[in-house]
Amino acid sequence: MALESINSVLEVESDPFSNAPQRTLSETVRPLADAYDERIGDRDRSTWRWFDAVEPAFRLSCVDDGAGQRVHDAKVLATMFITVIDDVAERHGDRATLEELRLVPFDSRAADPTRAGVDGEYVRFQRDLWGALCEQFRAGPRADEFETLFRFDVRQALQSVDYSALLARHPGLTSERELLTYDVYNMMLFPFADIDIANASAFDPSDLSTLRTVVDHGQRMARIGNWLATWERELAEGDYSSGVAVRALESGVVSPAELRTLRNESTDAAVASVIERIRESDIETAFVEQWGREFETAIGACVDGESFDARAYLEGFEPIFRSQLARRARARE
């Protein structure tokens, strides 16, 4: 996406994926989605359906023919996994449950759904979900080769949730630099790439460094789009971990005291006042321009690996960005 064309994108209303064929969730994913609806229910299925539509846009070119559905299912389950823990941290502010959920993928201490103060239903569901995700990942022909990397990258994603939960308690804590260091891992793009290469017979491990550089750019682009799409809803929920909110703090558009009030004594009028001030600033436009610079830098700097197409991967984020902005526009209606 050229920078000169990006300034007109902020009010985009046309979603590139709106005409995509309506798909039902797969037989692998549907039982977990049904269980989520029955046991958790924080979100409706539009979240999973949107990801279901956009996932092929940024799938690595080296994924084996015939492995697409397995890759797709694993990523939908991974999206559900990070969403559950993110909602516990940011929507519910439930620190005790968050601490148990962070243990689910690891063996140092088993997550305990009966621990005092813990919402056991979230923990039990997340254990079932993690088991299903691992089953899909381990079905990849190169899963053994890359599982350690996958677990490392999941750990970084969980740390990003922990960081945003910490920020919710201390709104003056962060800077945009820290946010771009920690928060971007919430997008799960590194675990997604691990899922791809676990199903890519042609991927050359000598390309790992190049791949991770490309994914690093991609996750920043994806996070900027997510911030723009969700910051208003999150502010109304008392969540000010978005880059938009952090930049508003750093630039003096809002104060830490105002954001604490939104979390602890929120009123519709107070929320509307803060949202209107941010809208009237140039913060959103600046993030659109930052997305464009990130994209152009990535395209210019990332030479293709021998075993995957870096340009095709990065170009896949342009329609996703437009879709994120279109969803933002619809949410304002």
Ranges of each domain in the chain? 21-332
**What does the pLDDT average to over 107-118?**
82
Q: Yes or no: say if 81 and 129 are a contact pair by the CB < 8 Å rule.
A: yes
Q: For 246-262, how does the pLDDT look when each residue is reduced to its tens digit (9 = 90+)?
A: 999 889 999 888 887 87
Mean pLDDT within 211-237: 92
Residue 270 has pLDDT above 70, yes or no: yes
pLDDT digits (tens, 9 = 90+) for 42-71: 999 989 999 999 999 999 999 999 999 999
Mean pLDDT of 12-30: 78
Q: Which pair of structure tokens corresponds to residue 148?
A: 């350690």
pLDDT tens readout for residues 31-47: 999 999 999 999 999 89
63-77, 130-144, 261-275, 309-323: the lowest-pLDDT one: 261-275
Residue 331 pLDDT class (50, 70, 90 cuts): low
Choice between 109 and 141, residue whose per-residue pLDDT is larger: 141
Percent of residues, the chain, with pLDDT higher than 90: 64
Render pLDDT for 165-195 as a digit per residue (tens, 0 to 9). 887 777 677 788 888 889 999 999 999 999 9
pLDDT at 23 over 80: no
CB atoms within 10 A of CB 21: 5
Across 203-222, average pLDDT: 94
Q: Is residue 89 within 8 Å of 157, Cβ to Cβ?
A: no
How is residue 170 written in tokens? 């201390």
End-to-end CA distance of the chain: 26
The answer to whether the CB of 73 falls within 8 A of the CB of 213 is no
Q: For residue 8, what pLDDT is reported? A: 56
Compute the average pLDDT of residues 309-321. 93
Question: Residues 73-87: pLDDT tens digits?
Answer: 999 999 999 999 999
Residue 265 has pLDDT above 80, yes or no: no
Give 105's pLDDT tier (boundaries 50, 70, 90).
very high
This prediction's pTM: 0.92
For the residues 218-239, what does the mean pLDDT come to? Answer: 90
Sign of CA dihedral 114, 118, 120, 125: negative
Residue 184 per-residue DSSP state: G
Helix (H, G, I), strand (E, B) or coil at 265: coil
Across the chain, mean pLDDT equals 89
> Which pLDDT belongs to residue 22?
65
Any idea which fold 21-332 has? Farnesyl Diphosphate Synthase (1.10.600)
For residue 125, count CB atoms less than 10 angstroms from its CB and return exposed for 0-12, middle for 13-18, buried for 19 or more: buried
- Residue 6, pLDDT score: 47
| pLDDT confidence of residue 3 | 43
Q: What per-residue confidence (pLDDT) applies to 236?
A: 85
Sign of the Cα pseudo-torsion (244, 248, 254, 257, in order): positive
For residue 275, the model assigns a pLDDT of 93
